[in-house]
Structure 1
């Protein structure tokens, strides 16, 4: 690339070159085997370890008191009123711990905030803004790591800024200048970070084991499995060679894309603990005023960002999983830059000045496995045809549903959601009255309470990336329509790999009123709509031919008495059942109270005063529960 168009030309500061003349002689550089062996020799920071365990123990004691003991005494209705505030307070306490301890705890907070599938929204909201920023490490310690990994700093760099441009929980980044004049950013791990990570994960593994003793937690999530997932991702982030591999893979993916720029990796200056990349700092993608001032049309930026991610997700199946504004830059090119530099890869005309969209920080990536792709395809087919059963089956294929999930209820909830929002566009969806969604929530409150879902991490990375992208694209262009950009990629996903035969199984599950809806007609008359109609006609003909056989099977089973009937309780019947359940609970507790009092009296007269006292205490607690249940009647 010509120097005229090269990003980062003004990214290094003008502070004087640090004095490196007093450097010590170059130490013997360890071999790869020695480095690998050193990574396995961890030392546990026992003070940190016990601090983590104390926090976890105190948290679980409070959960036990509120969600088990008091819930048994007074019932869920009375303690649910303050549950949201308690969750918020506990999340704030963890946030304070994470900020104080740094390292793994900050990463854990960010990981927790992404688990929208298993945690209450109040916890997600409290931890979502947890920043991966900690105090910087003294340059003397950073220099020691540089010397150990690369040799003396002055032999590798002609200038090296001692003040970092960014500091995170696992490492910090410094700008530097190579002897050849290239400007680079050097990412260096914090000294002792491996022992710190090992200590925190060791403590968290104990806490994860404690969590599985709580049935209401064990039913909702496999905490040790989630910790294993988190641990694997964390160790991957600590291997900077792997991040270099990711950067080079993205560079290869977009080698022919004239509008995307990926920084060069300097392999000779990269190890497991050090990563050296080309300095490509430019205009932050959320600096709207500066983007406009440079003559770049923000609509171009939004379109390119969306299209690039759609290509990563639907074509490459390998995507940048951390697209926050600090990792995306816009670099303006001269208005007369030779084509196709800075142009859209899909040939769309530019609305403003040409530019590069630059990606940095490749430590967090997501992959769409063949299983996830097949599940997504089934989900899209089910959604476009209102086939609730197929949608739920796709959830199972994606591994989203827990083994204890009530598939029938989830199918009913999906069908109810279809009835509520089918045929609405984005603007109409945003105007759906809260009472409509609240009604669906009340009808399926049992599902909301049990939350029988656990989403794979790569799928969460995908959802998180799409959520962040939607916000950035609409910030760049308030009128941006992401669905319009997505349509050709979705069509490709539905028809690729010989899946045309599978689409012939599509049930045309539209109501008569839906056939005349403008959105339905537009979809049916689109490029793939004619094929969909032909496939649907084939499906209807096949089902019509099978109808006599199915009818014969139903009648045969009815004649044998093999038909099963499912009956759902009406709201009034459910209330009566709940009242009967409370009555039985009072009766059982009254009998237990009488038995404890009688037994304690006998034990007292036998001379066992301590046991008798404990029995009377239990009897008092049981009597209190009987009174509370009677008051709630």
Structure 2
């Protein structure tokens, strides 16, 4: 795809920002600690991360397009990013100035293959909402289409002209940045950056494909077809394409508008309970979850009989739980039931949360502490625990997780995002809302449904342990025989590698000390012998370069 000068400038702008950020991280996190200034890096880290997040936020707002989505995506990456960055980006809104209506009309007509007056009886030029990828307008169907569909008022979403090229440019820049990140060992050991970018790219490609969103809307409606508490807009397929989506206009009371709810005779606390139950139904029953349940995407619709229902819109971001994650969650439930910290780590590896380089000893210790403190409590007991204690433990546990190369799959993150938004919305509707109340029956049912498999797994584990014990005497006899014959050997290659690393660190430490001595000596000689002082300071650069970048010789082997 040929790039215009504007696209090339956008590409370079993203790369310049990333390069500057990498240089800053390299200097403070790698160089300064190696020359004995780790305290300086630690003392300034929070402020630096906050400034970096603010600069990115300004860049995202300025560029628009996919970069706002990048900021929202980064705000959910508590597993790989410092809390200073995620907190700053948490409220980055996908709201930008509206596109010129003439451009929107031309894009819609090109997609639909007809003038707007032929496609719709009316089409409001003022958008209902404008986002970085597209904007929505109110319209009414023609008499023929209204008779065929049984609908009249509709919402038409139209993609911004040229957004495909902008998305392609942004993804190309992000892929290059990810390749840079993989060359930095401190980053590559903790984050699989290319995989993160590809997961993000897949989500974005789905979001800009309005036919995919239409299919998701119909699937959601089918899941809740028998549930009177839930509604979803009908899709007008005759007026929908990949870049234009026409949906039934289901606008009603915004779920966060508590004053309007009370005026309609609807109790916000009851709305909170139903909303939580519906979201949990999506997680536990249908495995197909609305991953962006913010107030603008959910309405409370009063019904003629005095009841009401929740109406969901915007199905561009959905979380479908894959079989691998579902199996890992099952393993996790069994491990939690048995208070098995190793089993929980195995489940995390099965889900794909832990990278292969993860040293799980510290995580296992943290999980053991978790079980020791809270493992024997039921939901009602957990509900009564001092919130400050839970907050303190959560902060300590979060620090442990962030210190490890932990990386959540995108689908799991979308699921966690949905649960987090649900909890926040319910608390806003009802300050006394407690998430444990709606969760308890689902968790109890899940454990009951899995009880048969749980007993099978326990039986299989018991048989495995008995088999190991049965073979143990023979294996001990074999070791003793090899010891008697002198054929028993030990593999100490890992110990040799550790010794090599220690010696290499020692070489670098000597170079760092030599650099410091030469630099100080040069400074002292500046007054009596400036020539020698300057020369000594210049030569001190050589041991500095060796301390930072030198390839040390390996330790001699005997």
TM-score, normalising length from structure 1?
0.73
- Aligned CA distance change for structure 1 residues 433 and 296 (closer, same or farther; 3 Å): closer
Cα drift, residue 426 of structure 1: 2.6
Partner of 1:134: 96
Q: SS of 1:315's equivalent? A: helix
Partner of 1:485: 438
Distance 1:358 1:251 in 2: 10
Distance 1:130 1:328 in 2: 19
Cα drift, residue 230 of structure 1: 1.0
- Conserved 8 A contact 2:355-2:405: yes
Distance 2:277 2:4 in 1: 46
Q: How does 1:193-342 map to 2 (within 5 A)?
A: 193-334=163-304, 337=305
Q: SS of 1:455's equivalent? A: coil
Deviations 1:393-412 (A, max 9, x none): 11111011011111233222
- Conserved 8 A contact 1:593-1:619: no
Q: Which moved more, 1:402-411 or 1:121-130?
A: 402-411
* Corresponding position: 1:425 with 2:371: no
Q: SS of 2:142's equivalent? A: coil
Partner of 2:28: 66
Q: SS of 2:389's equivalent? A: coil
Distance 2:170 2:538 in 1: 42
Partner of 1:465: 418
Cα drift, residue 362 of structure 1: 0.5
Partner of 2:54: 92
Cα drift, residue 162 of structure 1: 0.7
- Conserved 8 A contact 2:74-2:89: yes
Distance 1:478 1:98 in 2: 34
Q: SS of 2:35's equivalent? A: helix
* Corresponding position: 1:501 with 2:453: yes
- Conserved 8 A contact 2:515-2:541: no
Partner of 1:124: 86
Partner of 2:126: 163
Distance 1:165 1:548 in 2: 69
- Aligned CA distance change for structure 1 residues 105 and 473 (closer, same or farther; 3 Å): same
Deviations 1:578-611 (A, max 9, x none): x9999886545346789999xxxxxxxxxxxxxx
Q: How does 1:390-409 map to 2 (within 5 A)?
A: 390-409=343-362
Q: SS of 2:67's equivalent? A: helix
Cα drift, residue 380 of structure 1: 1.8
Cα drift, residue 71 of structure 1: 2.4
Partner of 1:105: 67
- Conserved 8 A contact 2:363-2:401: no
Distance 1:553 1:286 in 2: 69
Deviations 1:537-596 (A, max 9, x none): x8999899889748858976996789x9xxxxxxxxxxxxxx999988654534678999
* Corresponding position: 1:357 with 2:310: yes
- Conserved 8 A contact 1:318-1:367: yes
- Conserved 8 A contact 1:320-1:364: yes
Cα drift, residue 55 of structure 1: 1.6
Q: SS of 2:14's equivalent? A: helix
- Conserved 8 A contact 1:333-1:356: yes
Cα drift, residue 434 of structure 1: 6.5
- Conserved 8 A contact 2:233-2:248: yes
Distance 1:436 1:238 in 2: 40
Partner of 2:512: 589
- Aligned CA distance change for structure 1 residues 544 and 48 (closer, same or farther; 3 Å): closer
Structure 1 unmatched ranges of 5 or more? 1-39, 338-352, 507-537, 565-578, 598-611, 626-633
Partner of 1:36: none
* Corresponding position: 1:188 with 2:140: no
Q: Which moved more, 1:122-131 or 1:478-487?
A: 478-487
- Aligned CA distance change for structure 1 residues 580 and 540 (closer, same or farther; 3 Å): closer
**CA-atom RMSD, angstroms?**
3.5
Structure 2 unmatched ranges of 5 or more? 147-151, 491-501, 521-534, 549-558
* Corresponding position: 1:179 with 2:151: no
Distance 1:85 1:425 in 2: 36
Cα drift, residue 94 of structure 1: 0.5
- Aligned CA distance change for structure 1 residues 480 and 543 (closer, same or farther; 3 Å): farther
Cα drift, residue 621 of structure 1: 4.6
Distance 1:52 1:622 in 2: 30
Distance 2:321 2:297 in 1: 21
Q: SS of 1:200's equivalent? A: helix
- Conserved 8 A contact 2:134-2:157: yes
Distance 1:171 1:137 in 2: 9
- Conserved 8 A contact 2:511-2:543: no
- Aligned CA distance change for structure 1 residues 624 and 397 (closer, same or farther; 3 Å): closer
Q: SS of 1:432's equivalent? A: helix
Deviations 1:272-331 (A, max 9, x none): 110001111111111112112211122331222122122211121111111111100001
Distance 1:596 1:472 in 2: 59
Cα drift, residue 74 of structure 1: 2.7
* Corresponding position: 1:618 with 2:541: yes
Deviations 1:150-201 (A, max 9, x none): 2111112121111101000000000011123601110000011111111121
- Conserved 8 A contact 1:312-1:319: yes
Cα drift, residue 431 of structure 1: 3.4
Distance 2:157 2:392 in 1: 51
- Aligned CA distance change for structure 1 residues 411 and 141 (closer, same or farther; 3 Å): same
Cα drift, residue 364 of structure 1: 0.4
Q: How does 1:35-54 map to 2 (within 5 A)?
A: 45-54=7-16
- Conserved 8 A contact 2:35-2:512: no
Partner of 2:553: none
Partner of 1:604: none
